[in-house]
Amino acid sequence: MSESFDAVEVIAAKRDRHELTDPQIDWVVDAYTRGIVADEQMSALAMAILLNGMNRREISRWTHAMIASGERMDFSSLSWTTSDKHSTGGVGDKITLPLAPLVAACGVAVPQLSGRGLGHTGGTLDKLEAIPGWRASLTNEEMMAQLEDIGAVICAAGAGLAPADKKLYALRDVTGTVEAIPLIASSIMSKKIAEGTGSLVLDVKAGSGAFMKDVDQARELAETMVALGNDAGVTTVALLTDMSTPLGLTAGNACEVAEAVDVLAGGGPADVVELTVALAREMLAAAGKDDRDPADVLASGAAMDVWKRMIRAQGGDPDAPLPVAKETHVVTAPTSGTLTRLDAMGVGVAAWRLGAGRSRPGEQVQAAAGVVMHAKPGDAVTAGQPLLTLHTDTPERFDRAVAALDGVYDIGDGLYGAGTEGGKASAVVIDRIG
């Protein structure tokens, strides 16, 4: 069959800063998925988009072309209203684990299609696989049955959702075009819109440990994604949140699960609880079911009950001991004073080097590897006290992990410093968009 366009003319149009037409966008995404447009041609187009941008119409059309490349899910047969959350990723970001059962305990179902980690950012599925027996892959029928019965599911996305995105993401990863905001936004939103949830709350992170280091860039990404969701008929809001310091006191897999369970049990670090409750309130409001305060529901233990049912439904044992690393190494405070900075990126890279993350898709991760933090910015520390404990099954990894921590923290003699306000950690939520 003859093709409607030629890849070179589409590339040249964006190279020369022209708007791509709807038919051009529909064709190039479809032709790339079919293998008619070669990787090197799509690489050139992705670079042109990175350099010259896209307007709102172009981004919306590109997103819908990616959705059209695969199947769409439909939750309308459920007796529940649905709402979903997406985080742009960070260090110690275990929020999905307590959030999904909490929102379900408040009466809104959460179909959470999650991914695996790559590099310094952890993957939700990798964390949950630290629980003995838990499985990430469910059929659509299993997912629907679990949602109807329990109200919460966290699982891997099926291959049928936005296959164009899977192909394009892998290409962007190796061609220096990951940072293109139109392509980030359309990548995330094509999957979320195709998933069919009734409403969506985005957790867009800014700071050293985030994909977007700059708050203004993160805000632009958030505004773009909120517009895409709303244009597609999905009620969408975003919270801009701080990722200059790791979330909570753990970065890894099993150790993050343990911290999430602490939150569900009524404890856990204040920042994790704060963000979990803030996102839950937004999800309930977006779903039109904000008659219950998630902070009260969390304190009642109802979310813990949903968590245990959710884990059991996917083959896991929520009461089984979590894996423990064979080896540990303690990093101590060199001086006394106030911890004024703890850089998220450095901690994330250390956890990755210990075996908590992967450097290429498909690589195995260590369930017990990671970093446990004994202080956060604003805390007083004493010379010689444990600051960080590194966990791994392979002690030969310690040297490189310790090297990643060089210069990632500051200890001062006052109360003020980067990431702190009056000696206390600054608020996690920076802004709300939508």
Q: What is the CATH number of the domain that holds 28?
A: 1.20.970.10
- Domain span at residue 378? 327-424
Q: Are residues 276 and 335 in the same domain?
A: no
- Residue 339: CA count within 13 A, CB half-sphere: 26
Put the strands of the sheet holding 370-373 in their side by side order. 250-252, 370-373, 386-392, 327-332
Q: Which residue has the tokens 């309130």?
A: 281
Number of structural domains (the chain) is 3
Query: Assign residue 266 a region: left if phi > 0, alpha if psi is -120 to 50, beta otherwise?
Result: left
Question: Does 338 reside within a domain?
Answer: yes
Please give the pLDDT value at position 169. 85
Crossing angle of helices 96-105/302-313, nearest 10°? Answer: 110
d(CA 129, CA 113): 15
Q: Are residues 20 and 128 in the same domain?
A: no
Question: Does 172 reside within a domain?
Answer: no
d(CA 247, CA 232): 32
pLDDT mean for each 10 residues of the chain (434 residues): 89 98 97 96 97 96 95 93 94 96 98 78 89 95 96 89 88 85 94 92 95 92 96 95 96 97 97 97 95 95 98 97 97 96 96 87 87 95 97 97 97 58 63 94
Question: Does 365 reside within a domain?
Answer: yes
Please give the pLDDT value at position 413. 81
Q: Are residues 244 and 301 in the same domain?
A: yes
Q: Are residues 390 and 374 in the same domain?
A: yes
- CA 60 to chain CA mean position, Å: 22
Question: Does 79 reside within a domain?
Answer: no
Please give the pLDDT value at position 115. 78
Question: Does 240 reside within a domain?
Answer: yes
Q: Are residues 96 and 228 in the same domain?
A: yes
Q: Are residues 105 and 224 in the same domain?
A: yes
Q: Which two tokens stand for residue 161?
A: 């959702």
Residue 142: partners with Cβ closer than 8 Å, 6 or more residues away: none
Question: Does 378 reside within a domain?
Answer: yes
Q: Are residues 344 and 378 in the same domain?
A: yes
Cα R_g (the chain), whole angstroms: 22
Q: Among 395, 364, 403, 402, which residue's Cα sits nearest to residue 123?
A: 364
Q: Are residues 13 and 133 in the same domain?
A: no
Q: Among 209, 43, 222, 182, which residue's Cα sits nearest to residue 119?
A: 209
Please give the pLDDT value at position 86. 95
Q: Are residues 211 and 356 in the same domain?
A: no
Q: Are residues 338 and 228 in the same domain?
A: no
Query: Assign residue 233 a region: left if phi > 0, alpha if psi is -120 to 50, beta otherwise?
Result: left
Q: Among 409, 406, 431, which residue's Cα sits nearest to residue 420?
A: 409
Catalytic (active-site) positions: 86, 165, 172, 187, 191
The DSSP element (H or E) to which 99 belongs, if any, is: helix 96-105
Q: What is the CATH number of the domain that holds 340?
A: 3.90.1170.30
Q: What is the CATH number of the domain that holds 270?
A: 3.40.1030.10
Question: Does 99 reside within a domain?
Answer: yes
Whether residue 236 contacts residue 199, with contact meaning beta carbons closer than 8 Å, is answered with yes
Please give the pLDDT value at position 129. 96
Please give the pLDDT value at position 10. 97
